[in-house]
């Protein structure tokens, strides 16, 4: 199944000030998340952003916060799976009720909060796409273990470019011209 912009929800998990310095290849990861976020903004794709225990791990990075809009949902959480928070689960259900059943996931850490959220979303019958170049962990081994487990549970492992070009669908449109510049 191809990813469709009008069916998508972008979920950005725990890209926080005190966590990101410890994440392997964090600058590259942040860049990929920003590309996804800017693309979602351009295509009016709703976003849910989570923060794991912000008192301890800090708030969402300013670079990410700067790209949010008033319709985006911020969920503070203590559960590792965002689905353990009523606000997150309720927002996903509301979006599904208007035809948005594809959850595009990026953020940290791949083997903990990303993985648990993804598996719970799959269990709730969402189509889940994990953006492999936009998720990270403190070690490459943990990232790979998380990706393998999510794939074995039914998640689609995709790249940033796959998501964006499937969202856009057609070359030559204003969206294509703008978003293809983000990738280069």
Q: From CA 36, how far away is CA 150, in angstroms rounded? A: 20
pLDDT of residue 179: 78
Distance of alpha carbon 9 from alpha carbon 6, whole angstroms: 9
In this prediction, residue 180 has a pLDDT band, given cuts at 50, 70 and 90, of confident
Would the pTM of this model clear 0.85, i.e. be above it? yes
Q: What is the pLDDT of residues 120-170, one digit of tens each?
A: 999 999 999 999 999 999 999 999 999 999 999 999 999 999 999 999 998
Question: Which CATH number characterizes residue 114's domain?
Answer: 3.40.50.850
* Range(s) of the domain holding residue 149: 5-183
Query: What's the domain count of the chain?
Result: 1
DSSP assignment letter at 10 = E
Q: Tell me the C-alpha distance between 13 and 74, whole Å.
A: 10
Tokens 């794709």 belong to residue: 45
At 26-56, the pLDDT tens digits run 999 999 999 999 999 999 999 999 999 999 9
CA angle 173/33/143 to nearest 5° reads: 130
pLDDT in tens, 70-94: 899 999 999 999 999 999 999 999 9
CB 29 within 8 A of CB 114: no
């Amino acid at each position: 199944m191809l990813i469709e912009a009008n069916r998508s929800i972008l979920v950005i998990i725990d890209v926080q000030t005190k966590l990101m310095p410890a994440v392997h290849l964090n600058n590259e990861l942040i860049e990929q998340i920003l590309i996804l976020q800017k693309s979602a903004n351009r295509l009016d794709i709703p976003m849910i952003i989570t923060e794991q225990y912000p008192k301890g791990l800090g708030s969402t990075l300013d670079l990410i916060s700067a790209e949010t809009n008033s319709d985006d949902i911020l969920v503070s959480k203590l559960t590792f799976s965002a689905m353990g928070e009523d606000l997150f689960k309720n927002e996903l259900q509301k979006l599904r009720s208007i035809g948005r059943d594809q959850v595009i996931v990026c953020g940290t850490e791949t083997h903990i909060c990303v993985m648990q959220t993804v598996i719970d979303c799959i269990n709730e019958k969402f189509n889940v796409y994990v953006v492999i170049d936009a998720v990270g962990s403190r070690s490459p081994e943990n990232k790979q273990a998380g990706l393998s487990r999510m794939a074995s549970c039914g998640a689609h492992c995709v790249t940033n470019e796959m998501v964006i070009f499937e969202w856009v669908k057609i070359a030559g449109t204003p969206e294509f011209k703008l978003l293809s510049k983000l990738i280069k």
